[in-house]
Structure 1
Amino acid sequence: MLNQIIELVADELNLDSKTLTKETRLQEDLNVDSLDVVELVMKLEEEFNIEVTDEQAASLKTIEDILNFVEANK
């Protein structure tokens, strides 16, 4: 599932998936802004058929955070 999430993030942010790891930080490493977060959350909700609240979205700081969230809520 990690690879699937990395591919999703890379696709949404127009990045090379090979540059991403589970330790990659969204804001610090990828310069993700609030609009990027909204779009990424929408893609996660669609891809994994889950719901993400604004508070939950704010807690997603790394690729690993996204992985853990998706696994816990799938």
Structure 2
Amino acid sequence: MDKIKSRVIEIVAEELAVDVDEINEDSSFIDDLGADSLDVVELVMAFEEEFDVEIPDEDAEDIRTVDDAVNYLEDIL
């Protein structure tokens, strides 16, 4: 597992209080992991802080799964 993906999964587990083993690439933050819209905003903020990037709101709206987050971060880093 690459570094970005593993760190995204760690952040998701920490922010949403779920076990790392419950998270896979296509896990939806809301549908599969029980996040609400505020949790998703907090996840995006955690990604921004961890990777020292700024994610515009219009891009953040498209980040709905672990894979979405990983692909987005890989593209901008």
Q: Structures share a fold, TM > 0.5?
A: yes
Q: TM-score range by the shorter chain?
A: over 0.9
Is 1:23 the counterpart of 2:39 in the alignment?
A: no
> Where has structure 1 moved over 2 Å in runs of 4 or more?
none
- Residue equivalent to 1:54: 57
- Number of corresponding residues: 74
Structure 1 counterpart SS, 2:30: helix
Cα distance in 2, alignment partners of residues 21 and 27 from structure 1? 14
- Residue equivalent to 2:17: 14
Give the C-alpha shift of residue 31 in structure 1.
2.4
Cα distance in 2, alignment partners of residues 55 and 31 from structure 1? 22
Cα distance in 2, alignment partners of residues 62 and 37 from structure 1? 10
Cα distance in 2, alignment partners of residues 69 and 47 from structure 1? 14
TM-score, length-normalised on structure 1?
0.92
RMSD over aligned CA atoms reads 0.9
Greater helix fraction, Structure 1 or Structure 2: 1
Which residues of structure 1 form unaligned runs of 5+? none
Deviation string, structure 1 residues 15-70 (Cα, Å, up to 9, x no partner): 10111000111121112211101111111000001111111111011100000011
Cα distance in 2, alignment partners of residues 57 and 33 from structure 1? 14
Sequence identity percentage: 42
